Structure 1
Amino acid sequence: MGQPDDAAGARARARHRTVDRIASILECAARSRDGVTLSAIAKELAAPVSSIQSLVNGLVSAGYLDEHDRRYSLGSAPYLLNRLAGRQPVAAVTHTDLEQIHHRTGLTTVLSIAVGPNIFYVDYCSSDPRFAYLAENYVRRSLIRTSGGWILLAGMEKRDLWAYIRNLPEDEQPLADRFFAALPEIEQTGICASPNASEQGDGVSIAVRENGRIVATVGVIAPHAVITQDRDRLVDILKQGAQGWSERDIER
């Protein structure tokens, strides 16, 4: 059976060297459970380190790779794409976990990830249409403006954190001092409670770790007065929730 004229005359898709290299870098990072070094990536691609470095740096900046101790692993951006396609970006936390926290607190409960300089709500449980809109439309929000964002910033490589702070717009620069004052406690506890960093609301968030790394946060959101008044109880509820999904992560 012959091919249609348009198919027979179609040209093969041309390969693009840069795209091929980016795809290979991402695959190399995805296949390495403990992260892969820059030299190992260059060896895998049969390319000089100098020609790979800028691509890797760009992928880290865009959220497609994470760097920890000079080893590279898959970042959060691919998880966001999976979420847009209907796949779950964070294995440790289920929607049922969010529902349970929402039931106990009565507050909007969100699962958040960082992609580059932004935070996205990738799952939620809420009766508040404002937060439903943010979550369902994957609206970008500034990391420095949310309690979950402060935790995700605390989990960054230091050079990426410094770069993020340096590039903050002028109106967000005052929040940097408050973040750095809270940073030691966030690093120790994995909790950020009531940073009062946004005029739109406030929150209490806790880190979600997979393989020892912060990959997301779970948080509750409400007006500042509500969060401040109920802070300790909200922290306890999130700690109890985190114990459950941490145990599931260990079992995997």
Structure 2
Amino acid sequence: MGKVDDEPRGRARHRTVDRIAAILELVARSRSGLTLSELAECLGAPVSSTQGLVNGLVATGYVEERGRRYFLGSAPYLLNRLAGRAPVPAVTHADLERIHERSGLTTVLSIVVGPALFYVDYCSSDPKFAYLAENHVRRSLIRTSGGWILLADMEKRDLWAYLRGLPDADQELIEPFLAALPEIRESGVCAAPHASVDGDGVSIAVRESGKAVAAVGIIGSHPVISRRRGELTSILREQASTWPR
């Protein structure tokens, strides 16, 4: 038997990692969110250092800020998807199949992580969407109907920061998005925003405790989506009525 010093030692803890892990658990357990002061008090840490950690977690999508309260963000959903677990429990693959069967068009489940949109599930015979979803390819929020849904539910300062940071090629979409913003917030639907040259879509918000955590969208060509936007909106609303909230 070897000396004690030769025995494997326990892993050293890291204060910053401990605090980040604690923040994630605290916001995950809270249904009403926590303020910065509440987080700092729970951590036993200064507000200033807690603010730096929280800002970093918000910027990377692990935490969301709403009304100066902090909630679990969407990044954990993506990690669960990468690990083969359901990213949005309210919406099953069977839901997407039903929408696809009724519409005959590509159906996708989207989430936002940081400044990007990801398709985390889909139902389509189009290999393009299979590639995008199965390889977790980043998509532009401002260029997709699902992205408009998720942007509409962002905190104002995060939304303004995103819009200010758009490249020149996307600046033309800011005005139409802002014009559509009140209706999207009211209805939870974005129909045919004409945000992409490649196609168009109709999307509906997936909500948990009143917050849009994902979007389900039907995607097709510009003429098809424009002609069927009312019908596709009804299909999405009917399916959404079966999801827990």
- Range into which the TM-score falls when normalised by the shorter chain: over 0.9
The CA distance in 2 between the partners of 1:11 and 1:174, in whole Å, is 58
SS state of the match for residue 110, structure 1?
Answer: strand
The CA distance in 1 between the partners of 2:198 and 2:219, in whole Å, is 10
SS state of the match for residue 242, structure 2?
Answer: helix
Matched, 1:118 2:151: no
From 170, 177, 187, the counterpart of 1:179 = 177
Partner of 2:205: 207
Partner of 1:193: 191
Partner of 1:28: 26
In the TM superposition, 1:215-230 aligns within 5 A as: 215-230=213-228
Cα deviations by residue, 1:60-105 (Å, 9 ceiling, x for unpaired): 1110001111111110001110111111111111111100000000
- How many Å apart are 1:136 and its aligned residue? 0.6
From 42, 54, 58, the counterpart of 1:44 = 42
5+ residue gaps, structure 1, are none
Matched, 1:97 2:86: no
From 151, 154, 158, the counterpart of 1:153 = 151
Aligned length: 244
Instruction: Give the counterpart letter for 2:27 in structure 1.
Output: A
Instruction: Give the counterpart letter for 1:170 in structure 2.
Output: D
- How many Å apart are 1:226 and its aligned residue? 1.1
The CA distance in 1 between the partners of 2:36 and 2:51, in whole Å, is 7
- How many Å apart are 1:51 and its aligned residue? 1.0
Instruction: Give the counterpart letter for 1:114 in structure 2.
Output: V
Q: TM-score, normalised by structure 1?
A: 0.93
Matched, 1:85 2:83: yes
Partner of 2:236: 238
The CA distance in 1 between the partners of 2:186 and 2:37, in whole Å, is 32
Cα deviations by residue, 1:121-162 (Å, 9 ceiling, x for unpaired): 111100000011001111001100100000100000111100
SS state of the match for residue 137, structure 2?
Answer: coil
Q: TM-score, normalised by structure 2?
A: 0.96
- How many Å apart are 1:238 and its aligned residue? 0.6
The CA distance in 2 between the partners of 1:174 and 1:58, in whole Å, is 29
Instruction: Give the counterpart letter for 1:28 in structure 2.
Output: L
The CA distance in 2 between the partners of 1:197 and 1:14, in whole Å, is 49
Identity of aligned residues (%): 68
The CA distance in 2 between the partners of 1:243 and 1:85, in whole Å, is 29
SS state of the match for residue 34, structure 2?
Answer: coil
SS state of the match for residue 22, structure 1?
Answer: helix
| Backbone CA RMSD of aligned residues | 1.5
The CA distance in 2 between the partners of 1:234 and 1:8, in whole Å, is 66
- How many Å apart are 1:12 and its aligned residue? 4.1
The CA distance in 2 between the partners of 1:49 and 1:70, in whole Å, is 14
